[in-house]
Amino acid sequence: RKEVEQDPGPFNVPEGATVAFNCTYSNSASQSFFWYRQDCRKEPKLLMSVYSSGNEDGRFTAQLNRASQYISLLIRDSKLSDSATYLCVVNAGGTSYGKLTFGQGTILTVHP
Amino acid sequence: EAGVTQFPSHSVIEKGQTVTLRCDPISGHDNLYWYRRVMGKEIKFLLHFVKESKQDESGMPNNRFLAERTGGTYSTLKVQPAELEDSGVYFCASSHPGGRGVGYTFGSGTRLTVV
């Protein structure tokens, strides 16, 4: 079983749509959670951290359920520029505090 | 502020040859990381430096890979001898002291092709 699992998609949605991505992680001791975004042939970039209380950044809302080991990302009012691969990322902390564990990514294409 | 710089951006080498990748982190970032993505797989951790010391090298695939960070500034990752399965994109990242999963900046990567 992969440490971080995501639905690879692809998700093809029209502009203005709402789209949700899900992710599960296997290490119950994981301490920090993130969504990264990666454009084609580019480096990953932090989109947002994910907190237990849930957090929002403009059109983006992230949720964490520690009991279910489940993370989600909701994108409202999709823009063409949101087209990218969205990576669910987990950090175990402890002695591996520097190590990020990535999911395989979910591909999103927003079309006119 | 200059970002994380990686060199070369692309490298094509023959199986059995040696390749050295370089990473210049953001100035003042004590933490430096190497990751790689092979075709069709997720990005995977290779190792983590704190200054010049290896904090965690649990992700290094085998002894053909050697990472160094002399003086705690830039880092090199040498693959010797290269095998076909080493092809992929190698990313370097850095973060400020104490960064625990936050504040990472990734370089644009080195695309390595072994033929």
Work out the pLDDT band at B100, boundaries 50, 70, 90. Answer: low
pLDDT at B72 exceeding the cut of 90 = no
B107:A97 CB<8 A: no
- Residue of chain A whose Cα is closest to the Cα of B90: A43
Which band of pLDDT confidence, cut at 50, 70 and 90, is reported for residue B108? very high
Tell me, what's the pLDDT at B99?
59
What share of chain A in percent tops pLDDT 70? 100
Q: Which residues contact B10 (CB under 8 A, 6 or more apart)?
A: B110, B111, B113
C-alpha radius of gyration, chain B, whole number: 13
Q: In sequence order, what are the residues at sequence separation of 6 or more whose Cβ sits closer than 8 angstroms to the Cβ of residue B33?
A: A98, A99, A100, B45, B46, B47, B48, B49, B92, B93, B94, B95, B104
In this predicted model, which residue has the larger pLDDT, B103 or A2? A2
CA geometry: angle at A84 spanning A42 and A13, to 5°? 165
- Mean pLDDT estimate for chain B: 94
Residue B56 has pLDDT above 80, yes or no: yes
- The count of other CB atoms within 10 Å of the CB of residue B61 is 14
Question: Percent of chain A beyond pLDDT 90?
Answer: 83
Task: Please say if the pLDDT value at position B23 is more than 70.
Answer: yes
Q: Is A30 on the interface with B (CB under 8 A)?
A: no
CB-based contact (8 Å) between A72 and chain B?
no
Query: Residue A77, SS3?
Result: coil
Task: Give the pairing type, strands B53-56 and A70-75.
Answer: unpaired
Question: What number of CA atoms fall less than 13 Å from residue A89's CA on the CB side?
Answer: 24
